[in-house]
Chain A
Amino acid sequence: MSERTSVDGAEHVHDLLSEYLNGDLPDAERQVIQQHLDACARCRRDYESLRLTVNLLRQIPLHAVPRSFAIAALEPRQSWRLTWLRLSTSALAAVFVALLALRLVLPSAIQPAASTAATGESRVQSQAASASNAQPAAAAPTAAPAAPPMQAAAAAAAPAPRAAQAAATAAPAAQVIRSAAAQPAPGATPTPASGAGVAPLAAASRAAPPGGTVSPPAVVSAAQQAAPVTAPKPALQTDAATAHRTAVSTLPPSTVPPRPATTRRVSTRLPPAPSAPDWYTPLLAAVGVLLAVSLGALVWVSRRR
């Protein structure tokens, strides 16, 4: 502090008094100020008031802290390791839940895989399913344009309005045939192992030429055979079968490709596979074990911190 006020030829020391008070001036400067204070009442008064001010400040008591400002409970500092562990645990938990949901909520989603990995019996089953699908699938579109004559034929065969109504929609009619063909034996034994259940259907589909060409007599005969056994309304189904035969026979053999949508519907109609695919249980177990390990590590790490 070089700035000094000169009054009456003597240098006042206001600006150095603070440092003098702190005791951090060199000895030489200290002595100069000491001498000046001895001589100058005004500077002495200044010094005295300054000293008292500082004393007052030093006596200010510390205020007790109103609470602890520790932050652990509020926001744990995240290390990359913990972050990674949290992410992986969450991902594993999500996969685990998704697998469980697949099994519980959407059992049909894992069944096609089941039938491909199954025994020879079920392979026959699925063959029968896909082959038989070709027929109604092919029949449905061809029957549609032939609706008026079919309607007429149905009306001729059974004058009841109920029969006409059933025949008016070609696709449902085909469906009824299909279900009639598929149902005869399964109605008695719903187990998938029963090859007898699909025997008529398989026979019908084997009779059909390759390429999905319609073979009405086979289907209809199967339907007619089945109708008295399982269908609760034989009259209606026979009408529908008749209508179908009439409609299809009026048309040349068509080669409409089978619709995959129908395939799925039919396969669900077949006795469902009760067991999960081969990969499901090991995968679920592996994810479960990994999840448990990850959770354990997470708990251990967060407890250690």
Chain B
Amino acid sequence: MKYAYYPGCSLECSSVAYEMSVQAVAEALDLTLAELDDWNCCGATEYFSQDELTACAVIARNLSLVEPDVDQLVASCAACFLNLKKTDHLMGEHPELGAKVNEALAAGGLSYQAGTVNVRHLLDVIYTDVGEGPIREKIVRPLTNLRVAPYYGCQVVRPYTDFDDPEYPVKLDELFRWLGADVVEYPVKTHCCGGHMTQISEPQAFELIRRLLQSAVDREADMILCMCPMCQLNLDAYQRAVNGYFKTEFNMPIVFFTQMVGIALGIASDRLGFGKEIVSAEPVILEKLGPKALEPVA
């Protein structure tokens, strides 16, 4: 299965563990992710809040770079996924906007026709295109006894709901049940992590982060699984600050879902980016999955 792939900026720096594990898992699942040549930033949440036309033009440039023989573009970052999807959608809904965007693209000798590229999140591709059977066949290290809290956040399932329920999604839950994990019912699975609120008003952001951590602790989860660099950063990097602010003692590992898929597929932890997280996931993985759980399975 061949896909165009858009990694996004976060995956090259703060979330390099995500990118490493995406690549390792894609290889193990026979997914060909062909990185777009000369892709540019999706503008994150900032561009859209400043100027829609500019934001769309910047994002549509990436859509226009997809090779004509490929019709699927995969993103693993939640914000990139949403921005690419939204731009394709807006250009289709508002032809006059599409025309203006194409005017801008023409300056660089590019063009994009709305609807020609199907933008998909990596979870959707793994869940739907690879599917339960082939994934189960490839499990060499079932995640038995590992209690995981599946955290979806906002942008992957809202507002575009092609592949899961927007209010109470379950596909990440199901994927980890296939992998043998003990998936906890995580009632705040779509609640906001605070996004960039940490930069604006820490008390508000810390409260949102605290709720997510507390809910995972209440359900005795060993770790929270993320599929968004922003969510992972907020929950992991601000955990100590949250503890200081609320006098709590959270010590919850926050990992990208692909990292744990990789463990189940027997990939070595150093190829999956483990060790880059601030609250180390290694002790709990070793405790629950055995002393060799971070080593490759031959």
**Same complex origin of A and B:** no
